[in-house]
Structures are given as C-alpha cells and as structure tokens.
A and B are shown apart, each in its own frame.
Chain A
C-alpha cells in the first residue's frame, strides 16, 4: 500500500496549540513540508516572532530562535551573515512585520538579505486579544477600534507586498491565501520558491499569506473564509509582485474592481 500522507519531518510531532480554525497550522505544515522536501531541515534556523506564533520555536523541527517583537529580519541578518551556509527564515505576523518591525522589514529587503520571510496577514492582533493591526481593514472592528477602523482616526491599512515592490533588493514577493485547498497548494508553491531562492542565493524573498483568525474576528471558521474573499482580497489582491528575474509583477486575483 502506498503512503499518501504523513507528518512532515520539518514539524515536531506534537499537537499545535493555536485556536480552532486558526491559519497558522496550515502555514506551519507548509513550511515543515518545504524543509523536508528541499532537504534543508538540518541546516535551517527559524525565527519565531512575538505574537501568536511565538510558540513556533516548539513546532518547527529545526534550530529556532525567538526574538523581540518585529526584529525577525534583523536577527535573520545576523544569523545568515554569520553562517551563510544556513537557510534562515523569519516567521512573522502583521503587527510584528508591518507595524513595530516595519523598519527591519524594509531595510532587510533593501539590503536584499538572502533570507526567507513568511508573513501571516490576518488583519488583527491575535495574541494580545484582537487589537487593530496595520493591516486591519477600513470598517473592520477591533478591540482598539471598536466602532470599526476609520481613515480619520486610524489611517489606511498597509499593503506590504506592494510597498516592498518598490525596492530593488526585494527579489521575490508573492501574496497568497489559505482559504481554499487550491489556494493552500499555491501558497505552498510560493513558500517553496521563497526557500529555493535562498538556496540559489537570489536574495530577499517574502511570501504574504492571508490567514483567518475566527477567534478575534468574532466569526465562525466558515464565515471567516468568506471574509477573506469578500473583504480581504479586494484590499490585498493575490499575486506575484516581484520575481528575481522580472521586475514588478501584477495582481492575478482579487483587488478592487
């Protein structure tokens, strides 16, 4: 009999403690599979952020370091420059990467550090209990904008891929999602490419993953998946924004009509 599914060696074989319906589990599994399939697990160092995925250091089956809020790309820089033979990835949420850590994100991309950044965008602060994120949508409620985010009070959400696409050093930028099985497969392809780029010495790669947070969105998992297509994707269109070989790409799915 042929085995069609198994626990990937890139993940520690233990239950994840994320909330029911949380998107982290899917992306963790994708990363774990990539580490195995690319044969890089034993030379990979991962960086866990501050946020829900602070526990990622327990889950990924490779050397891990947990760092200060938002500083993943700086830590990755220190590791990669000290051990260029290692594969280094930083796993970050939206508050971590696009708010407190924006400077580190932009500058590590500008320097084109040969690292891989996995960016989970769920438009909310999860760990601290549902506060507004830099990617929270206009009108979306959060515990620090209980009447919904307004432009007047909170300004506009940030599109990270589009922002970074302005930088020559950002060599690979793709926004993906995990709201359908087909999208999960696409997300895996993107994340695998982001690791392959590093193996090939192509420079800074970032994959943004639209992810659901039923707990803090106050929605069921099914409603949450709908929220991704109806609310998030118009603001955050999926697609490849930069590749090592071509300059800026274009959105292929979603976006405001």
Chain B
C-alpha cells in the first residue's frame, strides 16, 4: 500500500500476484505478455517461490495443475494462441475443482493473428474455453492499477469457489505504463488457511485424490450439478461492474477493458457536445452483470456496444436486456478505435434515438426464470411446447402450400 508508482501492466500483474501470495509460476514466452514471466523469473525466487519456463504452454498449465493440487497459490499467463493450448489443462483444473489464477493478454487473431491489442478471446473466456461444461471467473481490468489489484481478487474467488479465475487483458493493458497503487496488504502464504483437499503429507489422514473423472453411473452428473449450483451462487454474489453517468442518459455505451477506456474518452467528447451519454462497464465478464444491464432498459433509450471483436460481447448484452432495449454494435475485430471514431458512432446512435420512439414499449413483461412451484414451471414448459407445436404446424401448412 501507499505510493503511486509507474509500472507496465504486465509487471503490475506479476507484482500484484506475488503480493497476493502467488509462489508458483510456469509459463512459455509469447508476445505481448513476456514481461510477466520475465518479471516472475527474478522476483519469485526472492520470495521463496518457483518460476519455471516450461517447454510449452501445455506443459506450463499441467505444472500449474500439479502445483495447485498442493494448495499453493499458482499462476500462469499467456496470450491468445498460448491460452488456446492451455485450455485442456484449464478444463482439468475446473473438473478437479482446483483454484488457480491465469491471465490472457489478448492479441489479434484467429491463428497467429498479430501482436496488437484485441478482444477476440471473449467467447473463449466467458464460456469456459476448454472441453466440457464449466466456467471460469473472468475479470476485465481497464487500467494498470486494476492489472495489479485484480490478481488478489482472482486468487480469493478461485479459492472460495475452488475453480480457476482469470484476468482478461490485452496488448495495450499489458504493455502500457501507468501509475499504480497496490491497495492491499501483502499476503503471507504461510498464514493462509490449510486446504482440506490439498495433496502432500497424508500422515494421520485418509489418502486424497485429485481427479476430474468419474466413470460410475450417474456420478459425473451429480458432480456437475453441484458445480452448477456454485456457478448460480457466483452469478448472484460476485458480479462487479462500473456505471458512470447512466442515470438520465439517453444512450449508454457498454464496453469492457481497453474498449471501455476509449469509450470513456469518446463519452467525454459527447457530453461536451450536450449529448446525454453514460458508460456501463462490466468488470466481471463471468459472472456477467445481467440484472444491472437489464435495469438500464427502462431508463436509457438505447445501448451502444463497443468491442474490439466481431460481436461476441454484444451477444451477452443482448441476452441480458432480452429485447427490452435496442442494442447497437460498433465492432473493431483486431482494430483499436480512437475516441473520435467512437464519438462518431455515439452521434450516429443518438440520431437514431431522436428518429425512433423509445424501445421500452416493446419490452417483454418478464425475463429470467419463472419463480414458484414446480407445477407452474411444467405449465410454462407445456405452453412453450404447445406454442412450438403450433408454429411447427403452421410452418408445415405453409410448406404444403408451396
């Protein structure tokens, strides 16, 4: 805690992780995240920790799998292609309920792409990323300060729910320098509570097994249902977001990470011109701030999503508002928009608002899961099924006429 220092995002991430008690890092070089392993390579041994440059991302994530199984705070980082290689291991960690922290300093893709900042790994991050049915907690910093302060949150959430947690950054956040203040006390790993699942010394207790498989009839589903319940709780309790000038705004720009910074600059320009524009920034991308976004529907007249991808993030925004408000998209797949360009999109979107009546009238009455007894649920299901059947029949008739 204390003084503001000028640091690179990647270095802030590494230092933040160490201060949060990380004592194991394994990784493989890839631009634009190389400062993370480089920093760890000299800093971790000083703290009594382990740094390993692995032979591949695949080996790196499996070293994490082993290290995390001993209960140590373990971390890896990479950039897009490397994160793809790590997905199998991340899936194993999720399946074995192992907490660990990783960062994706996203670059342009697909394939080798380029090394500039991009947001094309959104879907991969928020939908789990690897094979199987699982989630990881995804935090999206938009400053060097958050790059340094989020690793601690990630470790804590990962351990609380026994699952992987990640920082989704990009080349700009990794490479830029900004002042940072570490806003937490250094964590002493020796003082962290012992984990009753960690492998190691089994004297005086039954053997422990860390595994992600269960071949017994029906058992895997039970495990997945338990995990699903935990995910629902996380969706309720762990959502983080930032809303700026959203009250009374006609247009709310929705963006995360670097896009949200650029959007903030554009919004400043727009407000100087008298346009009522606010900014909504999800900080956790999973859990996604669904309710909070849906809450904007009755207030603002339109949302404008700005993302450095083709339209991945916008899907979640649209799911959240469920048609209750118009959602425009400004997509820059592997492009970095300027504040002026975003400003032009804001003006375009605002013109649309003047021309068309508020979209709120078209809002469906209800969203979310129907509450109440099981009977009601079945009834609702039945209605849906009936409707679908009717539609099917209609389509059939039409087809017949043709």
Which residues of A come within 8 Å of B, CB atoms?
Answer: 12, 41-43, 45, 47-48, 54, 57-58, 61-68, 71, 74-83, 85-86, 103-104, 106-107
Contacts and interface: CB of A to CB of B under 8 A. Distances in A.
Contacts of B52: 77, 81
Given A71-B58, A77-B66, 10 more contacts: A43-B202, A43-B203, A54-B213, A62-B202, A67-B62, A75-B65, A75-B66, A78-B64, A78-B66, A81-B24
A56 to B, nearest CB: 10
A71 B203 contact: no
Interface in B59-110: 59-60, 62-70, 72, 74, 88-89, 92, 96
25 contacts: A42-B202, A58-B209, A64-B207, A65-B69, A65-B96, A65-B199, A65-B210, A71-B62, A77-B59, A78-B26, A78-B62, A78-B64, A79-B66, A79-B67, A79-B199, A80-B66, A81-B50, A82-B23, A82-B24, A83-B70, A85-B201, A86-B70, A103-B56, A103-B59, A104-B58
B55 A45 contact: no
Interface in B171-209: 199-203, 207-209
B207 A63 contact: yes
Contacts of A79: 66-67, 69-70, 199
A89 B327 CA distance: 55
B154 to A, nearest CB: 19
Contact of A63 (B60, B89, B202): B202
User: Which 8 pairs from chain A and chain B are nearest by CB?
Assistant: A78-B66, A74-B62, A78-B67, A75-B66, A78-B63, A71-B62, A107-B55, A66-B211
Given A63-B202, A81-B24, A82-B24, A68 B67 contact: no
A133 B64 CA distance: 28
Interface of B: 23-24, 26, 50, 52, 54-56, 58-60, 62-70, 72, 74, 88-89, 92, 96, 199-203, 207-213
Most chain B CB within a 10 A radius of its CB, from A61, A67, A80, A86: A67
A57 B211 contact: yes
A72 to B, nearest CB: 8
Contacts of A80: 66
B200 A71 contact: no
Contacts of A66: 209-213
B60 to A, nearest CB: 8
A45 B211 CA distance: 13
B92 A78 contact: no
Contacts of B96: 65
